[in-house]
Amino acid sequence: VIGVVIGKTDVRGFPDRKNIGSERYTFSFTIRDSPAYFINVNSWGREEYIRSLSESFRVGDCVTIENPLIQSKEAEREEKFNPVTPSCYKLILSENHSVVRTFSCYEMDTKLLSLLHLPVKDPQDYYSLGDITANGQSLDGRILNLLAAVMSVSS
């Protein structure tokens, strides 16, 4: 699979249920290879492997993933912690079988780079800040998608 990384989580550690007293580490990222298709990728393993893999690329890099495990996603559980994707599958990276390679800027396909700035949600599925200001009472308690631009950043 070849795609541009459009999102990435931090590395997290969890107690390993199989090996009491040790930890397993994870991080996930989302890659996109066309305007309509993107998929979540999960990585689990030893701390050294996961940290090294996570540090090997960043959002905006083009990557090739070789030998991932393809797994059906559990929609309710998966999408609580990862972006909602149009696929009913996710990719799992294995330390022993999978390889992630990063392309240099010169090797990147400009078509893939243009995908980095496309929204991942349907353009009709957003509320503007004006809508929320005007209709805040009727939207109380609802989960909304927002489309906004950052005007400034300050302390």
- Domain with residue 39: its CATH number is 2.40.50.140
Residue 112, pLDDT score: 78
pTM of the model: 0.78
Residue 77, pLDDT score: 67
pLDDT, averaged per 10 consecutive residues of the chain (155 residues), comes to: 91 86 90 91 93 94 93 74 82 92 71 78 78 83 79 89
Residue 98, pLDDT score: 93
Residue 76, pLDDT score: 67
The total number of structural domains in the chain stands at 1
**Which of 12, 68, 60, 67 shows the shortest CA–CA distance to 40?**
68
| Complete DSSP assignment for 101-115 | EEPPTTTS-HHHHHG
Tokens of 140: 């109380």
> What domain range is 12 assigned to?
2-115
Residue 108, pLDDT score: 66
Structural domain contains residue 76: yes
Structural domain contains residue 134: no
CA distance 57 to 143: 31
Structural domain contains residue 153: no
Return the residue matching tokens 């396909």: 109
